[in-house]
Amino acid sequence: MKRFYYVVEKQLDSTDESINGLKTITIYKIDNNTPIDLGVIEVDLELNSEEEVEDFLCSNDYIDFAEKVFIAQL
């Protein structure tokens, strides 16, 4: 089973440090105990992060839709 990890950061408005309604998700896989950055996506705060990560992985051919994978937030 392939394993992927992600980190979520809420984006802040640069003028008043308030949350702007978006989040940045950075996606990784671990290879020989080394994290490998697969990409970064920006999505609405209300969207499910794990589903967005899975969509990213499928769209970029890291997995296919029927494949069972492990995805965890760090």
What domains are defined for the chain? Answer: 2-73 (3.10.20)
> What pTM did the predictor assign?
0.88
What's the rounded mean pLDDT across residues 20-45?
Answer: 95
3 membership: H or E segment, kind and range: strand 2-12
How far apart CA 17 and CA 20 sit, in angstroms, is 9
**What digits encode the pLDDT tens for the residues 2-24?**
999 999 999 987 777 777 889 99
Cα–Cα distance, 19 to 35 (Å, whole number): 28
